[in-house]
Amino acid sequence: MAFSTETIDPGAVTAIQDAALEAARRRGASDASVRVEEIRTQQVSLRDGDLESTVDDAQIGVGIRVVHEGSMGFAASVDLKLSGIPRLVDQAIDAAILTATARRRNFEQANEPSHGVIDWSSQYEIDPSVISLADKVAHLSHWSDRLLGAPGISHVSALVHSVTEVKYYADMAGTVATQRRVRIQPVVEAVSLDADGAFETMRTLAPPAGRGWEYVNGVGWDWEGELALMPERLIEKLRAPSVEPGRYDLVIDPTNLWLTIHESIGHATELDRAMGYEAAYAGTSFATFDQLGRLKYGSSVMNVTGDRTVEHGLATVAIDDEGVAAQSFDLIREGVLVGYQLDRSAAAIAGYERSNGCAFADSPLHVPIQRMANVSLQPAPGEGPTTADLIAGVEHGIFIEGDKSWSIDMQRYNFQFTGQRFYRIEGGRLAGQLRDVAYQATTTEFWGSMEAVGGRSTYLLNGAFNCGKAQPGQVASVSHGAPSALMRGVNVLNARAEGGR
């Protein structure tokens, strides 16, 4: 598929990379890497069928990271003028020298061999940036109108957000990579008001995906099917009884569980956090490095992997932003913590021989830091149970679909999540919707209560475009695969009662 947005001439990129690495060598840098990137971001939003806003943005820039006498320095600019590159290298070296006055330990990195020349693209059919604004508006209008035409629907918002990026990487080891990635997130949300002014909302459960415009056309998700059911589901939710707080058995759909995985496992198994390198901002982790191989994270049916290789994954690449080849690795095996997500710096500090490739910078103007791989809970081996099988094993509980509100503490212990839809389970069957459900737990207690995971048929790759970390803030996209899961005896709150109503 042709890539519509490349305005940077690859020959010019090679000249910039050569100039940067040469200048870094001349200034005595022991290591250097240079990224030239072009990122095209588009968003179209409709409110009640009318076009509300559009974003059509492209960013081009160059970022250079050097290691100089044991210090790291980074400088970046949107100005790609070749004659300005040595000055940018000077700025990176100056940053390394300035911070060396207060540095108390050397910046070190785990080794990574050269991977030579790489040319890689994510899996997609249609680059969303080639679709005209009129076509995008028409598609969202169609979705909006079919909901607005349904009885009981008061308001509808619809948007599609897409990113098309090309990243050129080169480092002193000799790795030279061109990577093209496409991702898309369509979202439709409906609002229903009752006569007293009470309201409920419902959002599509479709995950953001490492796919192109074909996703909107139905490749990978049944949009028509989901939108057809939304009005009646929303009306039922608006009329549903408010949940009685207490302990419940929960069957959690992957459309909800992915976010709990993200927050309570994904971030907690980032080694930079576990070692205190995010202490002042994103936080640390209860899963400290001294507990590796020993910490009982959850029940024996819990197996979690990190990977940057899965097809359509939002964190999937060929190499990371430190030149480390994409890998797949275990984080939790049979409920025990067995691994962490690493960048080269954290790997070196902890004594690993090699990074597992989790460095990422969200823009050419930001320094690469450790970011999340696609962290996924594995389904049961073989056929495994269906979601209906899991529900059948619950006498009195709640089935939860879709993510909504989320919050977790800075050591990733105590969390509270809500959702899009909650169904009462009575005698192994669904018995109508509930509202105002929030579940609150401590990470190890929650995963320890996981009695069963669903089989491959329940497995879905979900994810987010908006994972934040670090200062200055960086935003990353990441996918999380999950099966349905059965948890016993989880604390459920009533969100209205919490608000004193």
What residues from 447 to 486 belong to the interface with other proteins (CB under 8 A)? 470-473
Q: Considering the complex, state which of residue 240 and residue 486 has its C-beta at the smaller distance from other proteins.
A: 240
Q: Considering the complex, state which of residue 32 and residue 301 has its C-beta at the smaller distance from other proteins.
A: 32
Which residues on adjacent β-strands are paired with residue 61?
37
Sole binder of other proteins in the list 26, 79, 229, 432 (CB under 8 A):
79
Task: Measure CA 248 to chain center.
Answer: 29
Closest CB 60 distance from other proteins, rounded Å:
4
Q: Which stretch binds other proteins (CB under 8 A): 92-100, 176-184, 447-455, 457-465?
A: 92-100
Q: Considering the complex, state which of residue 81 and residue 429 has its C-beta at the smaller distance from other proteins.
A: 81
Q: Considering the complex, state which of residue 144 and residue 484 has its C-beta at the smaller distance from other proteins.
A: 144
Binding mask 349-388 for other proteins (x = CB under 8 A): ----------------xxx-x-------------------
What are the tokens at 59? Answer: 């960013």
Say if CB 249 and CB 193 are below 8 A apart.
no
Segment 222 to 251, residues that bind other proteins, using CB under 8 A: none
Sole binder of other proteins in the list 137, 166, 295, 460 (CB under 8 A):
137
Give the ranges where 361-468 is alpha helix by DSSP (H). 387-392, 443-448
Q: Does 412 bind other proteins (CB under 8 A)?
A: yes
Q: Does 446 bind other proteins (CB under 8 A)?
A: no
CB atoms closer than 10 angstroms to residue 151: 8
Q: Considering the complex, state which of residue 271 and residue 318 has its C-beta at the smaller distance from other proteins.
A: 271
What are the tokens at 42? Answer: 């588009």
Q: Considering the complex, state which of residue 225 and residue 281 has its C-beta at the smaller distance from other proteins.
A: 281
Q: Which stretch binds other proteins (CB under 8 A): 3-11, 158-166, 312-320, 451-459?
A: 3-11
Closest CB 379 distance from other proteins, rounded Å:
29
Burial annotation 308-320 (CB, 10 A radius, 16+ → b, else e) = bbbebbbbbbbbb
Which of 494, 449, 422, 496 shows the shortest CA–CA distance to 246? 494
Q: Does 67 bind other proteins (CB under 8 A)?
A: no
Which residues on adjacent β-strands are paired with residue 101?
none
Segment 98 to 117, residues that bind other proteins, using CB under 8 A: 98-105
Say if CB 378 and CB 363 are below 8 A apart.
no
Q: How far apart are the first and last CA of the chain?
A: 55
Sole binder of other proteins in the list 120, 329, 406, 465 (CB under 8 A):
406
For other proteins (CB under 8 A), the number of binding residues is: 98
Closest CB 45 distance from other proteins, rounded Å:
8
Q: What is the DSSP string of 132-197?
A: -HHHHHHHHHHHHHHHHTSTT--EEEEEEEEEEEEEEEEETTS-EEEEEEEEEEEEEEEEEE-TTS
Closest CB 197 distance from other proteins, rounded Å:
3
Task: Compute the chain's Rg from CA coordinates.
Answer: 24
Say if CB 310 and CB 207 are below 8 A apart.
no
Which SS3 state, helix, strand or coil, does residue 428 take? Answer: coil
Closest CB 421 distance from other proteins, rounded Å:
16
Q: Considering the complex, state which of residue 382 and residue 500 has its C-beta at the smaller distance from other proteins.
A: 500
Sole binder of other proteins in the list 4, 114, 300, 407 (CB under 8 A):
407
> Going by C-beta distance under 8 Å and a sequence separation of 6 or more, which residues neighbour residue 49?
141, 144, 145, 148, 156
Q: Does 275 bind other proteins (CB under 8 A)?
A: yes
Task: Measure CA 33 to chain center.
Answer: 25
Could you identify the residue written with the tokens 């691994």?
Answer: 339
Which of 406, 487, 431 shows the shortest CA–CA distance to 454? 487
Q: Considering the complex, state which of residue 329 and residue 406 has its C-beta at the smaller distance from other proteins.
A: 406
CB atoms closer than 10 angstroms to residue 418: 20
Q: Does 73 bind other proteins (CB under 8 A)?
A: yes
Sole binder of other proteins in the list 115, 155, 203, 296 (CB under 8 A):
155
Q: Does 409 bind other proteins (CB under 8 A)?
A: yes
Q: Considering the complex, state which of residue 191 and residue 292 has its C-beta at the smaller distance from other proteins.
A: 191
Say if CB 121 and CB 316 are below 8 A apart.
no
Which of 409, 387, 432 shows the shortest CA–CA distance to 273? 409
Q: Which stretch binds other proteins (CB under 8 A): 8-16, 233-241, 423-431, 475-483?
A: 8-16
What is the distance between the alpha carbons of residues 429 and 397, in angstroms, rounded to a whole number? 10
Q: Does 201 bind other proteins (CB under 8 A)?
A: yes
Q: Does 281 bind other proteins (CB under 8 A)?
A: yes
Closest CB 37 distance from other proteins, rounded Å:
10
Which of 64, 66, 84, 68 shows the shortest CA–CA distance to 76? 64
Sole binder of other proteins in the list 14, 154, 291, 457 (CB under 8 A):
154
Q: What is the DSSP letter of 11?
A: H
Q: Which stretch binds other proteins (CB under 8 A): 76-84, 296-304, 379-387, 393-401?
A: 76-84
Q: Which stretch binds other proteins (CB under 8 A): 111-119, 300-308, 414-422, 480-488?
A: 414-422
